[in-house]
Amino acid sequence: MKKIRIKAFAKINLSLDVIAKREDGYHEVEMVLQSISLHDELLFMPSRVLSLETKEQRLPTDDRNLIIKTAKKLIEFSGFQDGARIILNKKIPVGAGLGGGSADAAATLVGLNRLWGLNLPLSTLERLGVSVGADVPFCLTGGTALAKGIGEILNTLPTPPSERIFLTKPPFSVSTALVYKKLSLEQEDWHPEIKSIISIIQRGELLPITHFWGNMLEKVTLKLYPEIKEVMEWLGASGFSVRMTGSGPTLFMFIPETCGCFNEVKTRLRKIGWWTYEGSLVGKGLELREEKGSKGGVENGKNTIGSDQTRQL
C-alpha cells in the first residue's frame, strides 16, 4: 500500500507591513516570510472515505479543519471519487502566528496530489491553496520570499544563512481577525523598511535586518495582551532583538553564538508557562517521502518541495 509522509514546515514573518485595507475586507500586506525547522508531520494513505486523525484534542477533524477543507476543494476541482486516511502529528502550536494550518493545507494539496495520481502542477495547487488561506501558496514552496497582495503574490529571495532561532509562546492563542479589526492604519506613520531587509538578504546576510525589521500588528496584539509586551520588553532589556510573528502571540529571536544568560531565559519562560522551541531557518516548505510495500513500507526516496523546484509536483 502506498503511503505519503510529509513534513510541513512552519513560517515566521521576518517583517510584516500592512499597506491598506481592501474593499473586500482583506488587507494589502508586504511581508518577508521565512520557513523554519519546526514542522508538523502528515501521513496520507488510500481509503474509500476521507478522514482525519490527530492526538491534538483542540483541533476538529471535520470540515472546520483546513486539512479536510483543502482535501474537499481538491476533490471538487479534480472530480476524484475516492478518499484518503490522513494522520496528523501536530507539533506547530495552534493559533501561534506560525502558519501551522496553512502548512498543513499545503501538505494536503501535495500529498493527495501524489497519492491520487492527479499530477496537478504547482501553479494549480497555488490557486487552490489561496482559496483556503493566504499563506498556503508560500507554504507550498517555503524558503524565503517577499509576499504582497494578501500574501499570495510571492517573489522568491535567497535563503539566508541558517541561523539558530528561538521561539516562545504564551499559553493562549490570538485571533488574527480581531487583531486586524482593531488595526488603525490612519494612526500609523511608521512602517518597517522592507527594501533594506531584502537588500541585506540578497547580500547573503541576515542579522543586520534587526535594524530595519518590524511588524505592524505588534502594537495591536501587545495592547490586547500586556503579558506579551512584558515578556518582549524583558527580552529586549536582556540584550535580545525580538519580534512577534504574524498576529502573534509567538515571539522569535536569533540566538547569539555566545550568550551566557540564554539558559536562564528559557528556564524563566517555562516557569511562567510559556512554550519554547530552538531550531533554525530552512529553505523549503515541505518534505515528502513515498513508501511502498505492505510489510513496514519501503522508502522510495525523499522529495524536498522548495522554492527552486520545478513547477510539476
Domain ranges in the chain are 1-313
Complete DSSP assignment for 241-298:
-EEE-TTSS-EEEEPPSS-TTHHHHHHHHHHTT-EEEEEEB-SEEEEEEEEE-SSS-E
DSSP H or E segment with residue 14: strand 3-21
225-246 average pLDDT score: 94
The average confidence (pLDDT) of the chain is 90
pLDDT in tens, 123-152: 999 999 999 999 999 999 999 999 999 888
What is the sign, positive or negative, of the torsion defined by CA atoms of 224, 219, 136, 103?
Answer: negative
Report CA-CA distances (Å) from 265 to 57, 148, 225, 238, 291.
29, 35, 20, 9, 42
**Which of these is catalytic: 17, 40, 135, 169?**
135
**Which of these is catalytic: 11, 69, 219, 284?**
11
Residue 25: the pLDDT is 76
Q: Is 11 a catalytic residue?
A: yes
pLDDT bucket at 296, cuts 50 / 70 / 90: very low
pLDDT bucket at 301, cuts 50 / 70 / 90: low
Q: How many CB atoms lie within 10 A of CB 60?
A: 12
Residue 238: the pLDDT is 86
Residue 188 reports pLDDT greater than 90: no
Select the more confidently predicted residue: 301 or 281: 281
Q: Which CATH class is domain 1-313?
A: alpha beta
DSSP label at residue 210: G
Phi-psi region of 211 (alpha: psi -120 to 50; beta: other; left: phi over 0): alpha
Whole-number Å distance between alpha carbons of 305 and 59: 26
pLDDT in tens, 8-62: 999 999 999 999 888 887 889 999 999 999 999 999 999 999 999 999 888 999 9
Q: Can the peptide bond before residue 249 be classed as cis, meaning omega within 30 degrees of 0?
A: yes
pLDDT bucket at 163, cuts 50 / 70 / 90: confident
172-192 average pLDDT score: 87
C-alpha cell at 1: 500500500
C-alpha cell at 36: 523554519
pLDDT bucket at 259, cuts 50 / 70 / 90: low
Residue 91 reports pLDDT greater than 90: yes
Residue 255: the pLDDT is 85
Which range among 82-86, 150-154, 165-169 shows the weakest confidence by mean pLDDT? Answer: 150-154
Contact partners, residue 193, CB within 8 Å, separation at least 6: 212, 213, 214
Residue 304: the pLDDT is 55
Can you give the pTM of this predicted structure?
Answer: 0.92
